[in-house]
Amino acid sequence: MRRFLCMTVGTAVLLAALPILTEYAALRAQSPVAAKPIQWEGAQTFGSSAAYRTGAGFGYAPGAVSYQQPAAPVYYVRGEKTELFNHVDLTGWTDSNGGEPKGWKVVDGLLYHDATGDNLFTEKQYESFILEFEFLVTQGDNTNSGVKYKTWYGDNWWMGCEYQILDDEGNGDSGDLHLTASLYDVYPPAIKSGLLKYGQFNQGKIVVMGNYVEHWLNGQRTVAAVIGSPDWAARVAKSKFQDEPNFGKIKSSRLFLQHHSTPVSFRNISITELKPW
């Protein structure tokens, strides 16, 4: 009888798991580069916010008030990496109204902003992703730009969370909250000096997994934030976005490179979308 019960329970567990296994197989078919889903590993603390790290170097935290690890693991599966810039023309990019980009051009294979025109928007919208890009800042050129995500239009200008790009020493926009690789005006970079390379291309990266965000500069993580956490709320309340209820809460949106009337160059812009499993 005991043996029969064990077989019955085992069969029931297997049958219950079949839909999950089928879904996982379907996701794997869509994401052949994903060796395995990204999985919770355990809690770590970033400032006063609790979040979770994964073996792949990415993290995510749920939107619950307690910010504790959920009863069931949370998984994301990587899609294929897609190049957003072909180094030839502006295919895949538009101005803010969906028309032809203004003030941006391709010069010697580089995406160059000539200090006029508009922000440069992706045609597609993105929710959870790994965005990788390279940017050039020359010391003394007064560069002030950025990469924005979770974007929306309000108060007659485009807003969003911003990966700051700045001539840190020459721009005069002082303060740790405005340094390159900060989450502009909300989170300063954890490493404040020695990462930004002048006169050569820097490697930037933005990771968004649900309401968890990371910024990276030249292989070093500079920001880890949980949107909606008490720490997030306290920082936003002290920022220029304190009266913007949408800040950080947009799930899916176009990304854009910021126009700020100063020169900046980009190359090797790619995105890997992350799918909840």
Name the percent of the chain in helix, strand, coil, to the closest 5. Answer: 15, 40, 45
26 and 58 together in one domain: no
Confidence (pLDDT) at 203 = 98
pLDDT, tens digit, for every residue of 17-59?
334 334 434 433 443 333 334 443 333 333 333 333 333 333 3
Confidence (pLDDT) at 42 = 37
81 and 215 together in one domain: yes
CA distance 199 to 135: 10
The pTM score is: 0.76
Per-residue confidence at 74, pLDDT binned at 50, 70, 90? low
9 and 57 together in one domain: no
11 and 55 together in one domain: no
Confidence (pLDDT) at 47 = 35
91 and 157 together in one domain: yes
| Whether the predicted pLDDT of 156 surpasses 80 | no
Looking at per-residue confidence, does 261 or 255 come out higher?
255
CATH number, domain at 263?
A: 2.60.120.560
5 and 112 together in one domain: no
Per-residue confidence at 118, pLDDT binned at 50, 70, 90? confident
Beta bridge pairs of residue 53: 42, 59
- What's the total number of domains in the chain? 2
| Whether the predicted pLDDT of 79 surpasses 80 | yes
95 and 17 together in one domain: no
Confidence (pLDDT) at 119 = 92
> Which range is least confidently modeled, 39-53, 83-97, 114-128?
39-53
DSSP SS3 for 12: helix
214 and 85 together in one domain: yes
| Whether the predicted pLDDT of 233 surpasses 70 | yes
DSSP SS3 for 60: coil
150 and 19 together in one domain: no
Cβ proximity of 263 and 136 under 8 Å: no
CA distance 213 to 223: 8
Which range of residues forms the domain containing residue 14?
Answer: 1-30
126 and 18 together in one domain: no
265 and 217 together in one domain: yes
pLDDT, tens digit, for every residue of 198-223?
999 999 999 998 888 999 999 999 99
209 and 173 together in one domain: yes
Beta bridge pairs of residue 215: 206, 223
Cβ proximity of 60 and 76 under 8 Å: yes
